[in-house]
Structure 1
Amino acid sequence: MNLEYKNLLPANFDSGSRVWIYQSNRLFGMMEALEVEKILTAFTDQWQAHGAPVKGFATLFFGQFIVLMADETQTGVSGCSTDSSVRLIKAIEERFGVSLFDRQLLAFVVKDKVQLIPMAQLAPAIQGGFVTGDTLYFNNLAGTKAELENNWIIPVKESWLKSKLPLQSA
């Protein structure tokens, strides 16, 4: 699995640009992914905050993660503009029959694929050796472009999960 994504991020966005990551509970099919990309582009092309255009970017990474970014150096995003992005994500959920707000579903790279594990199953996954401290984890809490670039796909032992469970490096 090619995990290179940084070169797909807009170079002309400030490193402090706000980021929202929405993880799907399943992989989008190819035709679905193409349609999601069109929906995201249409949204960012018309995204506004208090009548001013938002410098926005949105894409679907790895067929499963919607990343929405707003460079607030020109126009701040708040209230109504944030609500419009949430409405967009909810519309995508409804259109494609996916869940994009389930924070109890954790994503890892296992056997060269994105694998989803419910939080309740994490301890057994670690005990069974399916997930180790070195397993790559999608840290969807990344809130800025810099965090997305540097702290999105990280080993479990470097994530917030390290404090939850005893981990051993493989």
Structure 2
Amino acid sequence: MNVTFDALPPTARVWIYQANRPLTDAELAAVGPHLAQFATAWTSHGAALRAAAEFRHRQFLVIGLDEAVAGASGCSIDTSVRFVHELENALSISLLDKAHLAFGGAAGLELLERRALKLAVAAGTLGPETPYFDNTVATKAEMEARWPAPAGRTWLARYFAPAPAESAGAPTPA
């Protein structure tokens, strides 16, 4: 059954799919009924799932599921991934590519290739306070609390750690 995200409990499971570009107003308006239809028809072993689906920040498809009502099965997760593929084809976007990370920037949402992460940190264009959209959050509560979160407070923290000091007792160059 289709519900709004506000109606889902904090423990609701979420899946976040990041698009490779922002959707236009026309695309968002056109896709809305398809998101509602998916959430309404989504089932697990014949049981209706209490779910929500929406785009946030014009670029993230977020699917939420109240697992207290019924949990997702392997088949129902497969159904959701097929739906994501259908959206990719219908909108000519990529939602399943994990090669880019999303950050909040002065110009809005900015995507950065994973392999360019170290260079961006070294160049100072990405810092520990840069808002990072960690799409691996698992629950609605986590999403609301830390999506986005300062990059330095996520798994990216290791990129901002200071270089290790020379070990004690090691000879110093003359």
Give the TM-score taking structure 1 as reference length. 0.88
Equivalent in the alignment of 1:166: 160
CA RMSD of aligned residues (A): 1.4
Q: After the TM superposition, which parts of structure 1 deviate over 6 Å for at least 4 consecutive aligned residues? A: none
**1:28 aligns to what?**
23
Gap change, CA 1:97 and 1:167, over 3 Å in 2: farther
Aligned to 1:120: 115
- Tell me if structure 2 keeps the 8 A contact 1:19–1:142: yes
In structure 1, runs of 5+ residues without a counterpart are 1-8
Helix, strand or coil for the counterpart of 2:83? helix
Q: Residue 96 of structure 2: which of 101, 108, 123 is its match?
A: 101
Counterpart contact for 2:102–2:133, Cα < 8 Å: yes
Please name the residue that 2:128 is paired with.
Answer: 133
Residues 152 and 160 of structure 2 are in contact (CA less than 8 Å); yes or no, is this contact kept in structure 1?
no
CA distance in 2, matches of 1:143, 1:36: 24
Native 8 Å contact 2:5 2:64 kept in 1: no
Q: Percent identity?
A: 35
- Cα distance in 1 between the residues matched to 2:98 and 2:161: 21
Is the CA contact 1:139–1:159 (under 8 Å) kept in the aligned structure 2? yes
One-letter amino acid of the structure 1 residue matched with residue 11 of structure 2? G
Q: How many residues matched?
A: 159
Aligned equivalents of 2:147 and 2:26: distance in 1? Answer: 26
Deviation per CA, 1:75-128: give whole Å up to 9, x if none: 111111111110000111111111111212000011040000000111121122
- Structure 2 regions of 5+ residues with no counterpart? 163-174
Q: Which residue of the partner structure matches residue 49 of structure 2?
A: 54
Structure 2 counterpart of 1:75, from 66, 70, 73 = 70
Contact 1:133 1:167 in 2 (8 A): no
Shift of 1:12: 3.0
